[in-house]
Structure 1
């Protein structure tokens, strides 16, 4: 290995000191920070928030200090439908309710994976992967579908936000402590020759403790409730004796089996027009596995635009921290001119970023509009879940080129797929490793 010699560093120091441009940049960046110094106002000029297709959605929600974007985005797509169908105002579904059941189910999913890998050494990659993060706030579309199908949904009035759903750091910290401790017990029971019945009995006790922990932290999920509201015309409505499942059927009424997850992953190991799943990715044991169909970006965008043109918003996953401004809500490749600021070429292809760990899906939001010129998309309207103090009252503008580079997943109705892609969707999915970037949780 080659060391850094003092003479080399001195050469760099001298060259920097003699470069007036770099000294001027240094003064700006040291005082104002990297992003502020590189921000490009032209990106805002080129991404005016006006769209040829623009759906009515109401106010944005706020996930606060939690990683629940994926469930906020899914619930927001339902909210859009309900606002229009029932003439509601400022209405939200309970994110705390789905949060409770996701944590409960993820705990069981972790236990079952610990049991399944008990014959592997602690330093095996799969066991190390499980123990690194036993559970977290994030998730995938098919995982929230599993929660909806098993537990239904409730209005926010039936299970309001709690301190720990709005700021989940402590909850996650102590839940993961318990899960890791329980992992030692489960592996010990198996290594000591206990029967599967004895192991499952121990797991049931653990799940009872998990339920109590979640009920104390988040509140008890309702089994029955009344739905009381006034619509936009001030008309009073009362629907009594609902369950989470009957509420979903009556007020949401979306057949979730009609939707498919479409990804764009242009890496050599994932040919287009194939389906994929990810090992050990899920939350509800016994539910259908996470499944994607990988398509080229032109097809990807046409599918999203088609659903928007039919008046339905689109759940999507992206790498939101890349080249986007939180204050003005601009997601554009020229939002920051970092190459010019440092005179360094940071450019990588989308495939290279995925393969080398530079990018993956980190956040889920909702597409609520698109600007189409001669049938071709130029920019997209994005509903975020960070409250109204970011972007344009919580809405962002995403350039078409940004979507190409940093958007990885959309969820659309199966009917928008071509006949060829519908046949592809029926194929048995190719299994990806648990740590594959397509297994990232939004």
Structure 2
């Protein structure tokens, strides 16, 4: 290029000529233009060496769930962890909570938080950066572990059949568009009233009217959430529930096929039906979800720059539930995250995790579905250019962020007890990936992963001190830390 500030046409012509003269370039061009980048870049020799066998693997994980065309990965991941406790309690092979119920109250809480933030910023100019972030963040689908925990603590849970999926929960874009219109209309009214000198009480009266409209819209799109419901579910013979609420299912399965003397003690127990009438969603969570939402630590790996290990970060104006626990993340070295996740899985407890899932992921390759590995696709060899970056550098220039939450259900370890690969339960349905699961190499997670949520008992004492007593730094939603956490990108 002539003066190094503009592109000289003669330079482009020379580049085009030399490109076409190279055989490797022609092969790469023909492959990519006919089958797209990832299919052309996959390294067949490497791909076929990956085996989805794991030395540590949870036996009962429930059926693979499906978030459809919605951005509720964080909710599905969180609920998949919580349901493991219910599956064990009820002695069943599968159980699923209603994500539509969670979605209803998530949207309701987000609308309230958004409008409260608009009231707090009512004196700011219309191009104020914090105000614009509030309006952009709005009532979208994205979220985090803490969002789900606050919803469980405040609103409870219900089984999926009590409030099943709807067209709007499966594909949320049309509902979200109207919710955004409704809440931004209310934000405009609040700002006009504030400019006219109206009191905070008047501003909240506008918010209250808008919240009633939000409830109305959500009820139309998702159905009315139940205040109470009758729980009726078949449970296993070893269910640890109130015996007075159990009735046997007769005739006993296999009664005609075996003599009493041939049966083990557990086999002699009849199948049972659990009936609990007129319970609230919170009562259901308290009785049948032996899971403490407050007993978890959210660990992230964000090296370099102003991202300090041992420090918790909280992103301003993104908390979804006013009065709930703040959405904070403790930054620790990668080996801390790995050790805590391995300890949890060895104890039979699944782990919510998040990553930048589309990085180096040949998602739609039929012959090797569900493989996340740093050497599974040879993009540098395909294009003949350098593309590799460290996690630290990618965070600095916003090349990676935590965009998708899933669940660790197993891990393969090497001779030193270090992870080789992770078994990952996704929420794209059983027909996606490999029967709904992903194989994730440890190297891939170290570059593109970066968040695990684990019970306190699996975290070293010094890390717990960081979580409980260490500094919590508030960062703006446009800060690099917020970008790395996937603010406005989590789906």
TM range (shorter): over 0.9
Q: Aligned residue for 2:422?
A: 380
How many residue pairs get aligned? The number is: 442
- Please report how far the alpha carbon of residue 297 of structure 1 lies from its aligned counterpart in structure 2 after TM superposition: 0.6
Which of 458, 470, 474 aligns to 1:431? It is: 474
Q: Aligned residue for 1:339?
A: 380
Q: Distance in 2 between matches of 1:252 and 1:90?
A: 14
- Please report how far the alpha carbon of residue 131 of structure 1 lies from its aligned counterpart in structure 2 after TM superposition: 2.2
**For residues 24-48 of structure 1, what are the alpha-carbon distances to aligned partners after superposition, in whole Å with 9 as ceiling and x for unaligned?**
2111111111111001224433321
Q: Aligned residue for 1:422?
A: 464
- Aligned-residue Cα RMSD (Å) equals 1.4
SS of 2:274 mapped into structure 1: strand
Q: Aligned residue for 1:197?
A: 201
Which of 2, 16, 21 aligns to 2:24? It is: 21
The answer to which of 336-345 and 274-283 deviates more is 274-283
Q: Aligned residue for 1:249?
A: 286
Maintained 8 Å contact 1:281/1:439: no
Which of 64, 71, 76 aligns to 2:68? It is: 64
**For residues 37-95 of structure 1, what are the alpha-carbon distances to aligned partners after superposition, in whole Å with 9 as ceiling and x for unaligned?**
00122443332110011002022001111010100111111222222221224421100
**For residues 107-145 of structure 1, what are the alpha-carbon distances to aligned partners after superposition, in whole Å with 9 as ceiling and x for unaligned?**
011101111112211112112222234221010111111
Q: Aligned residue for 1:270?
A: 307
- Please report how far the alpha carbon of residue 367 of structure 1 lies from its aligned counterpart in structure 2 after TM superposition: 0.3
SS of 2:405 mapped into structure 1: strand
Residues 320 and 43 (structure 1 numbering): CA distance in 2 closer, same or farther, change over 3 Å?
A: farther
Unaligned runs of at least 5 residues, structure 1:
none
Q: Distance in 1 between matches of 2:446 and 2:457?
A: 23
Q: Distance in 2 between matches of 1:88 and 1:265?
A: 39
The answer to which of 29-38 and 430-439 deviates more is 430-439
- Mapping 1:213-228, distance limit 5 Å: 213-228=217-232
Q: Aligned residue for 1:102?
A: 106
SS of 1:50 mapped into structure 2: coil
Q: Distance in 1 between matches of 2:276 and 2:170?
A: 28
Q: Aligned residue for 2:408?
A: 367
Q: Which runs of 4+ in 1 moved over 4 A?
A: none
Q: Aligned residue for 1:295?
A: 332
The answer to which of 266-275 and 232-241 deviates more is 232-241
Q: Distance in 1 between matches of 2:24 and 2:56?
A: 45
SS of 1:210 mapped into structure 2: helix
Q: Distance in 2 between matches of 1:17 and 1:236?
A: 71
**For residues 153-186 of structure 1, what are the alpha-carbon distances to aligned partners after superposition, in whole Å with 9 as ceiling and x for unaligned?**
0001110111100010101111111121111111
Q: Distance in 2 between matches of 1:423 and 1:31?
A: 55
Which of 177, 187, 195 aligns to 2:181? It is: 177
Q: Distance in 1 between matches of 2:45 and 2:477?
A: 40
SS of 1:7 mapped into structure 2: helix
When normalised by structure 1's length, the TM-score is 0.97
Q: Distance in 2 between matches of 1:399 and 1:389?
A: 21
Q: Larger radius of gyration, structure 1 or 2?
A: 2
Q: Distance in 2 between matches of 1:232 and 1:416?
A: 29
